[in-house]
Structure 1
Amino acid sequence: MRLSSILFSFLFAGPVGAQTSCRDLGKGVIDQRCTEDFPVCVTRNGAQVVGGNRGHHCALCINSQQPNRFWQVDPDEGCDFDFRVCVGSRPLAANVEGTACATCVNSIPDTIDANTFDDGCPPDAPICVNDDGSEPALRKPGTNCIADCVDTSYFEMDVGCPRNYPHCVLKDGTDPGEQVPGVKCAACTPLTCDDFNPCTDDFCDPIFGCYSIDNGSCVCDANAEDWQCDDFTLPLCSGTNFCVCDVDAEGAPFCWPNVLCEGLVDCSSNSDCPEGTRCASTCCGAGQCLPECDDSIEVLPNSVLKGEAPSGPTSTGK
């Protein structure tokens, strides 16, 4: 009886060395029977195991981010944001085991395209270098990411910066000046974020770009006035659109957008006007029905915001 049991085990259980030692539990977690230092289950040949299947051993990392037709910013599986790129003794195929995590890799030589960034480098410091500042050989790891950029243009891409982060700037985010080197790349600068709207304060987030905040200086209730047709400085309403802060025919605060004079309805009071419009005196005439501002109205041209004579209706004295 014992002999038959031993023979059964030998025939059907297989050799001990063929037994699998790990199982895939999904992306971003430590696979079954793996450890924090070696978290990824792979096959005997080092390929990633997926779909909950069993594998041969646990790997330190795999090349999970490349190739993807883009640069690599997120870390490979098994790596972290300090050491993002899984590397081996030679360039790795996709989803194949590596032996170490590197800070970055010289993935594209700047002789081919100076406005790209190397794998593992963040957009504000796109070039992978060694400790001494030299570039590693192509497809070899480096130890640091820098921005080797020069301010060459106001609105176009500066040399040394990637397309989505085209501005070479100083540490405080300002422009260095034409043909002056900067220290990092950014999505914007304070100058490019100026929307010429006095109702907003404008800000530049170097990673996400420009944004504006209503500064409260154009609240129409406080600034409403029956301003004159020859006034070049418009009292503007707050909000996303450049609308004029005026008073209607009954003396109530009223925001109206820049509209052409053609086709306006004459009026003497708000009751004469269609729904969504109010009666006000403008340069188009005394008593015109004007639409109220909302997010669908086209904004005023920059010429108005810069203090030049407006081309649309403006308030006139009564």
Structure 2
Amino acid sequence: MVYFLFILAVIVTVLAAIKISTYADAITRLSSVGSLFVGTFLLAGATSLPEVTTSVTAVFLENPDMAVGNVLGSNLFNLSILAVFLIIYRHRAILSSVHKEQRHTAILGVLMTTFVVVALFYTIEIPVVNIGIESLVLLVLYGLSIWLLRGADEQNSDAGDEKVTEEKYTLKHAITGFIIAAIIILISGSVLTFSGDQIAILTGLGSSFVGSFLIATSTSLPEVVTVYVALKLNNHNLAAASIFGSNLFNLLILVLCDFLYPGSILLAASPTNIYTGGFLLLSSLVVTIAIFRAQTKRLSIALPLFMLLFYASSMVLLYLLR
């Protein structure tokens, strides 16, 4: 029964993600908001709702390993998603054609990940607000990302190809559909958490491994679908922004978990999460380099392959250390 619930939640999540991606693309065309902002905050926040429910529920289940592993594993998987699409669509030079503001979100992602990795070794708790110093830094850096993108107007640069077909949605319809799809993703994320926790117990694989890979992969399915749909719509900015924005938002989830958990959730988590965090940092550095450098044919293959290697290495290492 638990496996059936898990698979059902995965299917519902995928279907909802397809719709939410289409609605997000429509909102960028019908409103004055560019795809960079929509992808980085609106779409990324919505597709990260399963991670929110999963990690928060794991806190109440007193399973800090699953909470932290889900966030770090989801971010690592998100970059692997991007790597796969970079290889498939290598002739498009996706990262070379995205808005220059994407560099800011990529750099902030590296900085936020660095603070999380350091906090897995050592952190200073702030008793008044029940969070560690790294959580406060994460809040500041996320706020900085909003400030940096506040004036980014991509209305003229979003259209990868001119569409003469009649608009399928009104703005009101797109926003309403987006909200409904987000709620469905939120609910399915909760089901993924409970079923995943039971699978970890039944299989004996351990919460770190299950949280970092089984659940993290499942809760990242919306990102897989949104990137694919965005690329099919030839909206490179929306595709890249949804990944970078999701990773920023996911790290922010750790702040909420840290607030809800008695003590530091990062220190309470298993030391094996350090390996996931380390590989995530390496992968984040590689994708940041890819954005800043001109994409030659060799680099367009080599850099994504490194990102996939980091993901595979972390999965094997965590399985051996479970």
Instruction: Please state which band the TM-score falls in when normalised by the shorter chain.
Output: under 0.3
In the superposition, the TM-score normalised over structure 1's length comes to: 0.18
Q: Which structure features the higher share of helix residues? A: 2
The structure that has the greater radius of gyration is 1
TM-score normalised over the length of structure 2 = 0.18
